[in-house]
Amino acid sequence: MEAGGVGLHSGVPVQIRLLPAPVSTGIVFVRTDLDRFEIPASWRHVARVSYATSLMRQGVLISTTEHLLSVLYSMGIDNAYIEIDNLEVPILDGSGLPFVRLIEQAGIRQYRRKRRYLRIRRPICVEDKGKRISILPAESFRLTCDTDYPAPVGRQSLELDVTPASYAAEIAFARTFGWESDLDQMRNMGLIRGASLENAVCFTPAGVLNPGGLRAPDECCRHKAPTSSAIWPCSAACCSATSSPNAPDTPCTPPWWRASCRTPRSTKS
Amino acid sequence: MHAALVARIMQDPSFYEILTFDQLASRVTQALVS
């Protein structure tokens, strides 16, 4: 499958192409503009997670990977090459839904080789400036997200058993978002050069600037749940478990866990 | 922050275990029976 657009933060034009990969490959980005340099989607390569989740290997960057990786993990895709001709994944409409639709059209091949799975054995929690992410042992993958943003967003909550179907229906459509009052500051930081009302929701104290409004009343929480919680990073963890001394020699999937995240009142998303 | 969370997990093997498909199926069966 192929897609093209601009990078949310860089504003650069970019094309990506998803290709099948052999068993045990994991998710691997391939910079076609840099002699096909490969960057595995591994937690070991996470470079910067402020406003975007970036991967870097030997100084080569892939930025804003969180939407696409969240989609791949949630749709059960363990192996794929992602060819990309620039440094940032295209933002498309600001959500993961275009990726979901394109993958559905392309189809998913199941390999005969059985998966390995990563099971969380005891609770883990990280807190920072009022934000908290926890992963708890569970019998299924259940996601809980609580957010509290300034008006007009306010408090929102989401609790969901994550499956490919529930992700596609309940999560994928939710777009990235920000506040009009933050735009100048973010642009001065070299961010959101590719942002527009076509690929992001923009709030003012009075409401939403986007002509079409919100796709759901709690769109912000639905967007933050998979990208700021643990869906993609744990996927990346499993892919990179291959290089851990006690880990298997193939990528694996985390089936049993419950992830929760809480975001405090701030316009910084 | 989520990257820090995953780094903590992956750097301490006591936080997780790796199961084969057969081991997972066995655990699910046991959970359903009990």
Q: What pLDDT, on a 0 to 100 scale, did the predictor assign at position A92?
A: 97
Kindly report, residue by residue over A87-140, the tens digit of the pLDDT: 999 999 999 999 999 999 999 999 988 888 888 889 988 888 888 888 888 877
Query: CATH code at A130?
Result: 3.30.230.20
- Tokens 């840099």 belong to A34
Q: Which residues of B touch A128 (CB under 8 A)?
A: 1, 4
ipTM: 0.87
CA A21 to chain centre: 20
Q: Which residues of A touch B34 (CB under 8 A)?
A: none
Query: Could you tell me if residue A268 is inside a domain?
Result: no
Q: Do A244 and B10 lie within an 8 Å CB cutoff?
A: yes
CA end-to-end span of chain B: 37
CA-to-CA dists, residue A25 to A40, A133, A145, A150, angstroms: 9, 28, 31, 42
Q: Do B17 and A118 lie within an 8 Å CB cutoff?
A: yes
Query: Could you tell me if residue A269 is inside a domain?
Result: no
**Option in A118, A139, A240 nearest B16 (CB):** A118
Average of per-residue pLDDT across A162-174 = 93
Query: Could you tell me if residue A96 is inside a domain?
Result: yes
Instruction: Give the helix ranges, DSSP H, for chain A.
Output: 66-74, 97-106, 164-166, 183-188, 219-228, 231-240
The number of distinct structural domains making up chain A is: 1
Domain that holds residue A88: 2-108+116-263
Q: Which residues does A166 contact at the CB level (< 8 Å), separation at least 6?
A: A160
Pairwise CA distance, residues A84 & A82, whole Å: 6
Kindly report, residue by residue over B1-34, the tens digit of the pLDDT: 777 888 888 889 899 888 888 888 887 788 778 7
Query: Could you tell me if residue A241 is inside a domain?
Result: yes
Q: Which residues does A121 contact at the CB level (< 8 Å), separation at least 6?
A: A137, B14, B15, B16, B17
Q: Do A128 and B22 lie within an 8 Å CB cutoff?
A: no
pTM for the structure as a whole: 0.85
* B-interface mutation test, from A124, A132, A249, A269, most B Cβ less than 10 A away: A124
**Option in A117, A125, A237 nearest B10 (CB):** A237
Confidence of residue A242 (pLDDT cuts 50, 70, 90): very low
Q: Do A116 and B6 lie within an 8 Å CB cutoff?
A: no
